[in-house]
């Protein structure tokens, strides 16, 4: 929200009450509290009939400074609040005549008393800060707002704020943290996260579930401004020194992704949305994939597994599926897992509506009526997940499906949440608009974790908020079947990854319309080099043979490749869950300091060793950038010296897919499954090894650490050391034009080539 009219003036009808001078500072209730007047006080009478802004400083974890800006503190706190994992640290305090210095670890805040200024430093280097006209209260005709304007330095770039389809670097943008169902081609977003990180090695998190508004070098070109309606705002400056460490610190506070089962990394195929399908259709798809030797791992039933007008009744449409138990058995016999579509809404025609209404499980209007509308399903109500009994009831309906043989759920929707309603626990409906999705998905995920066990639970969710990264995974929403939409999906996924979301997927070939064969095949390459891979659409099927024989070959090739890459990918996944870093990493995250990487949003690192540059043109032409070092094309073996842009043309059996210098890439022997014994027939490839030791790991199919591999080149020879029990391992060294192979036998711990 904009509050000023240029540099000097306030907008009409707006009064600014800024922190101008410190009047007092002291410890109160475990918080270092600073009282600021809105004008310099030159005589005692000036304190009358005047506001005071209160600042509360604390450290919820080492390396994080929290600042609460209050006007009135008597406003009732009705919730909700983000679940944070705090380990409070005592602030160090140094009080001088002109300034106060607060510290937590290497992060410090310096408060100048008069004129008021606030600056944040890490290891003595200034990160950001604000002056005496940049923080406080704004009174408007629409109510009060708290506003903060933090400095943005020369060359500083801002990233994050959720899964955003607008340009990757957020400088110059206006961002509203408000979940909405707007597709992938607008400023609206399904997953809004009030956290950003900059290339200067710090992040800022606004600790509010409400509608935080950002002006990022837009209203004031030198500032990142954020504001919130009401009388209080808490923001946290998160240090770390690098974007990676900032994300680790942020996710230590807000939570990290649960481990996902190995089978989930395989290929998912769906019925699509409005297509007509029955048992014969579904089995023809599954058998058609098998006939074409395309590995398939999960089959998903979209909305119409239930009867129309009754979403959700959690009951199979018996006209289309007279024997759902038998169908599930047939899918299981073919080695498939099964996913079902659900949403948190109960249509009035559903027999469950009356049951939920009478039990008080649906959101109500302030007058006590059930909140209903016809948007999506006729007369639908919304589940109230603040009611524990409603959660148990909802889980009970889903458990019946799990008992039938279903493995997981696609938890769609959760964005169109009203604010003129009443929650069972008294939560503020405005604050619940974004937070609703967390309660919805947690309800489903908790059931899956209880019924299927840790490491086996997975949802396929669309909406998200802070903390939703703990409940994986999420997909990118309703894209269109074009190269432009493919590109906007990728930059949104990279943006989400910089907010601590380790896993992300998207609809291969796009959701709306029908892709051309060229879009389908290029999107299949991209999708199968993402953390999770799903063929899905709206009004048309997405089986590859509908797009030509070549499309079936491309899908097969890249499913085979992903299966072989599983020892590497699953180890990267364990690191992601452990650190909060994404599997699909923006180039700026992996190559800090490389200015060419700062705005790259059409390529990414898959884990820390593989570079992927999807092709976004029908003629196969692609421009991509390789950072410094020697890069080896995974499929062709061609070595390219980095530090420059490349422009090439690729056929449909390839794309820019490079392994970085010094990489230790673990490849499995299986090309049709994702959950297998990765150590059986393991191949370890050493790419351009150097004098600096490289370290990599391999997890087993249950996510447990299995092997640690260390490689180093010294005096013209390559040395590989393996820690952990293993069978025979084939070792391949690719060093320039030289390729050498050897075998590390069982019980052998090192090898020299």
Active site residues: 412, 415, 478
Structure tokens at 312: 């959700």
Residue 694 CA to residue 707 CA, distance in Å, equals 14
Which residue's entry shows tokens 């579509």?
341
What is the crossing angle of helices 566-579 and 243-254, to 10°?
70
Alpha-carbon distance values, 303 to 224, 276, 313, 538, 579 (Å) = 41, 11, 11, 11, 35
Which parts of 340-473 fold into alpha helices (H)?
351-359, 388-404, 429-452
Cβ-based neighbour number of residue 465 at 10 Å:
25
Contact yes or no for 129/118 (Cβ under 8 A): yes
Closest among 25, 52, 57, 26 to 39, alpha carbons compared? 52
Give the pairing type, strands 52-58 and 31-37: antiparallel
Q: How far apart, in Å, do the first and last CA atoms of the chain sit?
A: 63
Closest among 269, 362, 353, 186 to 555, alpha carbons compared? 269
Residue 496 CA to residue 477 CA, distance in Å, equals 13
Cβ-based neighbour number of residue 30 at 10 Å:
10
Residue 194 CA to residue 363 CA, distance in Å, equals 26
DSSP labels, 682-720: -EEEEES--SS-EEEEEE-TTS-EEEEEEEEEETTEEEE
Which residue's entry shows tokens 């069982």?
746
Alpha-carbon distance values, 304 to 272, 309, 362, 378, 508 (Å) = 9, 10, 23, 15, 20
Q: Cis bond leading into 115, ω under 30°?
A: yes
Q: What is the DSSP letter of 562?
A: H
Which residue's entry shows tokens 């599997």?
583
Alpha-carbon distance values, 396 to 206, 254, 271, 286, 339 (Å) = 36, 29, 25, 30, 17
Residue 547 CA to residue 709 CA, distance in Å, equals 42
Residue 528 CA to residue 545 CA, distance in Å, equals 17
């Amino acid at each position: 929200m904009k509050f000023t009219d240029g540099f000097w003036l306030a907008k009409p009808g707006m009064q600014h009450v800024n922190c101008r001078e410190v009047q007092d500072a002291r410890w109160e209730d475990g918080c270092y509290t600073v009282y600021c007047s809105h004008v310099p006080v030159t005589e005692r009478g000036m304190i009358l009939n005047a506001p005071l802004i209160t600042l509360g400083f604390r450290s919820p974890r080492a390396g994080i400074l929290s600042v609460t800006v209050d006007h009135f503190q008597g406003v009732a706190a009705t919730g909700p609040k983000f679940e944070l994992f705090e380990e409070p640290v005592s602030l160090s305090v140094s009080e001088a005549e002109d300034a106060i210095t607060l510290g937590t670890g290497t992060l410090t805040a310096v408060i100048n008393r008069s004129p008021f200024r606030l600056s944040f430093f890490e290891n003595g280097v200034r990160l950001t800060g604000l002056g005496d006209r940049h923080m406080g209260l704004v009174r408007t005709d629409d109510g009060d707002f708290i506003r903060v304007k933090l400095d943005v330095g020369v060359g500083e770039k801002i990233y994050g704020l959720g899964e955003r389809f607008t340009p990757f670097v957020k400088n110059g943008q206006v961002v509203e943290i408000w979940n909405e169902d707007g597709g992938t081609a607008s400023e609206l977003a399904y997953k809004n996260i009030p956290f950003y990180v900059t290339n200067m090695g710090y992040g800022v998190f606004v600790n509010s579930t409400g509608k935080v508004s950002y002006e990022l070098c837009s209203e004031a070109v030198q500032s990142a401004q954020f504001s919130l309606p009401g009388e209080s705002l808490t923001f946290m400056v998160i240090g770390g020194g690098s974007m990676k460490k900032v994300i680790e610190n942020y996710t230590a506070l807000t939570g990290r992704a649960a481990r996902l089962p190995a089978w989930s990394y395989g290929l998912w195929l769906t019925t699509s949305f409005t297509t007509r399908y029955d048992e014969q259709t579904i089995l023809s798809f599954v058998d058609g994939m098998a006939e074409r030797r395309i590995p398939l791992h999960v089959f998903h039933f979209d909305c119409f597994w239930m009867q129309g007008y009754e979403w959700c009744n959690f009951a199979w449409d018996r006209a289309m599926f007279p024997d759902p138990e038998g169908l599930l058995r047939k899918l299981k016999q073919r080695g498939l897992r099964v996913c079902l579509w659900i949403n948190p809404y109960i249509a009035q025609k559903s027999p469950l509506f009356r049951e939920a209404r009478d039990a008080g499980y649906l959101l109500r209007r302030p007058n006590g009526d059930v909140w209903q509308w016809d948007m999506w399903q006729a007369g639908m109500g919304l589940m109230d997940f603040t009611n524990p009994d409603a959660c148990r009831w909802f889980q009970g309906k889903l458990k019946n499906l799990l008992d039938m043989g279903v493995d997981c759920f696609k938890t769609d929707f959760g964005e169109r949440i009203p604010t003129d309603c009443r929650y069972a626990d008294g939560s503020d409906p405005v604050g619940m608009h974004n937070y609703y999705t967390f309660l919805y998905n947690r309800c489903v995920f908790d059931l899956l974790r209880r019924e299927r066990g840790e490491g086996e639970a997975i949802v396929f969710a669309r909406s998200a908020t802070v903390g939703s990264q703990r409940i994986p995974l999420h997909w990118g929403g309703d894209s269109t079947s074009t190269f432009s939409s493919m590109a906007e999906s990728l930059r949104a996924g990279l943006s989400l990854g910089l907010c601590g979301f380790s896993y992300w997927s998207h609809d291969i070939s796009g959701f709306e319309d029908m892709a051309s064969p060229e879009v389908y095949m290029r999107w299949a390459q991209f999708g199968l080099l993402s953390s999770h891979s799903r063929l899905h659409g709206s009004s048309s099927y997405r089986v590859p043979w509908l797009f030509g024989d070549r499309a079936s070959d491309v899908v097969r090739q890249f499913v085979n490749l992903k299966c072989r890459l599983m020892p590497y990918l699953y180890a990267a996944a364990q690191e992601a869950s452990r650190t909060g870093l994404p599997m699909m990493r923006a180039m700026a995250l992996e190559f800090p300091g490389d200015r060419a990487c700062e705005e790259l949003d059409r390529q990414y690192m898959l884990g820390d060793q593989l570079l992927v540059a999807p092709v976004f043109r029908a003629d196969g032409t692609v421009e991509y950038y390789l950072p410094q070092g020697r890069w080896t094309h995974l499929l062709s073996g061609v070595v390219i010296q980095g530090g420059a842009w490349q422009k090439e043309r690729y056929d449909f059996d390839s794309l820019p897919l490079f392994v970085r210098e010094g990489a230790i890439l673990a490849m499995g022997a299986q090309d049709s499954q994702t959950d297998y014994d990765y150590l059986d027939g393991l191949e370890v490839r050493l790419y351009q090894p150097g004098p600096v030791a490289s370290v990599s790991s391999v997890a087993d199919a249950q996510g447990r650490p299995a092997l640690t591999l260390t490689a180093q080149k010294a005096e013209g020879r390559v040395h590989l050391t393996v820690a952990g029990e293993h069978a025979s391992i084939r070792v391949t060294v690719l060093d320039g034009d030289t390729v050498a192979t050897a075998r590390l036998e069982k019980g052998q711990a090192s090898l020299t080539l």
